[in-house]
Amino acid sequence: MPLVLVRVDCRLIHGQVVETWVPHTGANCLLVANDDLVGNPFLRSVMEIAVPPAVHVAFCGLAEVDRVMTAVDRLGERAILLCATSGDALAIYRGGVRFSTLNIGNLHYAEGKVEVAPSVYFAREDFEAVHCLSHLGVAVTVKATPFEAGTSFDPER
C-alpha cells in the first residue's frame, strides 16, 4: 500500500507537513481529500505553491480517495493522505481505504470544542469518529510533528 501517513489537519497542506512529515516518511505524493477544495482552484493553487516540485500533489473528494489511491499505487508513489476532520478520515475508511494508524495534527478551537492536546480541539463529532476508528482497529495518535512523542487516543476517555 502506498500510504505512508494518514493525517487529520484542518490546515491540510502547510509548512509543518512539507518540512517535517514529507522528509520523515519519504513521501513523494500529497493526496488531499476534501470535498470543498476540489471545487476551489484558487485555494488548491495556493497550497501547491508550498510544495517542492519533486512532490506530486493530488486533490480529490472523499468518495474518490480509493480510486485515486489505486492510481498512486500504480505510479509507485509513497503518499501522505491529508484530510481536514476526523469525520472525513472515518468516511474515507468506510469508503474502502484501509489504514492502521491515524495521525491527528491540528484541529482549531471553536466554541464547544474540548482541548485534547495543544492545537487539537475535539467537538462531540470528533470524539465519535475517533472512537469508531479505534474500535475498527485504527491506532489514533495526536502528534504535530514526527519528532514529538505524541499521545495515543484512548477511545474510553
Catalytic residue numbers? 14
Calpha distance 115→133 (Å, rounded):
19
Q: Tell me the residue type at 140.
A: V
Which three three-digit cell numbers place residue 67?
Answer: 480510486
Asked if 80 and 117 count as a contact pair (C-beta separation under 8 A), the reply is: no
Name 109's Cβ contacts closer than 8 Å, sequence gap at least 6.
115, 121
Residues β-bridged to residue 122: 114
**Geometric angle at alpha carbon 53, from 52 and 59, rounded to 5°:** 85
Which three three-digit cell numbers place residue 23?
Answer: 522528509
Which three three-digit cell numbers place residue 6?
Answer: 494518514
CA dihedral sign, ordered 44, 49, 52, 53: positive
